[in-house]
Amino acid sequence: MKILVTGGAGYIGSHTVDKLLQMGLDVVVVDNLATGHKSSVPEDVPFYEIDIRDQVALSNVFDEHNIDAVVHFAAKSLVNESMNKPLDYFDNNTYGMISLLEVMNKYNVKKIVFSSSASTYGIPKNIPVKEEDEQNPINPYGLTKLQMEQIMHWADLAYDIKGVALRYFNVAGAKIDGSIGEDHNPETHLVPNILLAAQGKKDKIIIFGNDYNTPDGFNVRDYVHVVDLANAHYLAINYLMNENSSNYFNLGSKIGFSVKQMVDAAILETGIDIPNEIGPRRAGDPDSLVADSTKAQNILGWKPELTDVKTIIQTAWNWMQKHPDGYGDK
């Protein structure tokens, strides 16, 4: 079975490529390298530096390879950036999905796994969040992910393209051996930023707000290990192959940790007194985002194994110590 992974040189994409290869699947990667790293993709995996909105280039890939299914990561993914550059997000993410589905349909490829997001829920009314809860995004990023889910729905009805949308919560950690990991420039995410402060590459980690409606006043998030998340993509491909039916799933751990708890856990794990300071709130942050992932566990058979925050921090720290300059290409 041959899988096309769009955005396969990105953080979650590269861990998923690694998982699919381990499971014996053939993989082809397309990535425009806007944020991805070519060296995160194994050399023997066919790699195309193209943008999915370029239908001619994308069609050439489908001409060259007999693709059975697509795993679609290629998208912009920063909440703050999306507030400042919404049109980039609609173009890159929403139109990117349209372009990809058009080419898939032309080549009769009828299965897609899509990286959606907890940000499609906006400010959730219930914690933990269930899949049937209202999706009401509060920023352009979350809206594009919701639009992409909706476009998949109509493409299913009209063209019989079956899709699984995986709504990620807060992804962190790295492959256990530290050979691939998270490398963004600039880095905005909590775990790598805490560890950059531990490395002395940042003066300190700023904790965004301590007056949230949570037990300790700090934002609560559901941290899921990138390797567990990668495994969910493999299970989603199997689901599409066996059931030939569209579906959507939350991927989280049902356990919320506050920003302060994450900083404390990192201090404990690294043995470094990581400088930290409380700053103002960041725009668009809901108090709590925690997933109920029972559906993924029951239907996909997903069993997250690296749920301990300690493991998440240890593996991210291991990657950063082995690669102090990340992939060293940006």
Interface with ligand UFG by CB under 6 A: which residues? 77, 79, 117-119, 169-170, 188-190, 193, 205-208, 219, 221, 259, 282, 285, 289
Residues present in the chain in total: 330
Output the smallest distance, CB 114 to ligand UFG, in A. 13
- Cα–Cα dist 300/249, whole Å: 9
Of the pair 79, 230, the CB lying nearest ligand UFG is at: 79
Q: Is 141 designated active site? A: yes
In this structure, is the dihedral angle defined by the CA atoms of residues 28, 323, 141 and 251, taken in order, positive or negative? positive
Of the pair 20, 79, the CB lying nearest ligand UFG is at: 79
H helix intervals, the chain: 11-22, 55-64, 79-84, 86-89, 96-106, 140-159, 190-198, 226-243, 259-270, 294-295, 309-322
Of the pair 28, 228, the CB lying nearest ligand UFG is at: 228
- Cα–Cα dist 36/282, whole Å: 25
Of the pair 59, 210, the CB lying nearest ligand UFG is at: 210
The residue at minimum Cβ distance from ligand UFG is 219
Of the pair 93, 117, the CB lying nearest ligand UFG is at: 117
- Crossing angle of helices 259-270 and 190-198, rounded to 10°: 40
Output the smallest distance, CB 253 to ligand UFG, in A. 12
**Burial (CB count within 10 angstroms: exposed 0-12, middle 13-18, buried 19+), residue 168:** buried
User: Using omega within 30 degrees of 0 as the cis cutoff, is the peptide bond preceding 42 cis?
Assistant: no
Output the smallest distance, CB 69 to ligand UFG, in A. 23
- What strand order describes the sheet that includes 26-30? 47-48, 26-30, 2-6, 69-72, 111-117, 162-168, 247-251
Of the pair 32, 219, the CB lying nearest ligand UFG is at: 219
Output the smallest distance, CB 205 to ligand UFG, in A. 6
Query: Which of the following is catalytic: 48, 89, 141, 212?
Result: 141
Output the smallest distance, CB 320 to ligand UFG, in A. 15
In this structure, is the dihedral angle defined by the CA atoms of residues 38, 43, 49 and 50, taken in order, positive or negative? negative
Output the smallest distance, CB 170 to ligand UFG, in A. 4
Hey, which residues are catalytic here? 141
